[in-house]
Amino acid sequence: MVTNYEGCADEAERQPFVVHDIIYDAENYKAYLTADQKDWEEVAHSYTLKVGHMPLTPNHRLLMERDLVPRDTDFTMSLASSYDKNLFSATVGGWETSVDAVIRTTGKLNVDFDVDVSWFKLSSASMTIKPEDVAASVQLALTEKGTLSKAYNWEKTIISIPISGIEIAKVVKLGAFLDVDVGFTMDEWTGEAHANLGARVAISDSAIVVVDLIKSSNNKFSGWMPTFTPIPLTLSAKVEGSAEVFAAPNVKLEASALGKGWNVGLNLKMPYIEANFAAMAESTGVCNTKKTLGVDIDANIGVELYAQAATKGNEGDPFWRQSLYVSQPELTVIRRLF
Neighbouring residues of 161: CB distance < 8 A, sequence distance ≥ 6: 81, 177, 178, 179
**244-298 pLDDT per residue, tens:** 889 999 999 999 887 789 999 999 998 888 888 775 445 555 455 555 445 667 7
Q: What is the pLDDT of residue 42?
A: 67
Q: Read off the amino acid at residue 298.
A: D
Q: What is the pLDDT of residue 210?
A: 95
Q: What is the pLDDT of residue 287?
A: 53
Q: What is the pLDDT of residue 63?
A: 40
Q: What is the pLDDT of residue 43?
A: 67
Q: What is the pLDDT of residue 208?
A: 96
Q: What is the pLDDT of residue 149?
A: 86
- Do residues 145 and 192 touch, judged by C-beta distance below 8 A? yes
* Beta-carbon count within 10 A of 125 CB: 23
CA angle 15, 76, 13 (to 5 degrees): 10
Distances in whole angstroms, Cα of residue 82 to Cα of each of 104, 136, 141, 199: 5, 10, 16, 15
Q: What is the pLDDT of residue 16?
A: 74
Residues of the chain with pLDDT under 70: 1-14, 39-45, 47, 53-74, 169-170, 237, 279-296, 329-338
Neighbouring residues of 153: CB distance < 8 A, sequence distance ≥ 6: 183, 184, 185
Distances in whole angstroms, Cα of residue 97 to Cα of each of 207, 231, 322, 327: 39, 21, 37, 29
- The per-type count for the chain, helices as H runs and strands as E runs, is 2, 18
Q: What is the pLDDT of residue 61?
A: 45
Q: What is the largest CA-CA distance in the chain?
A: 115
Q: What is the pLDDT of residue 36?
A: 74
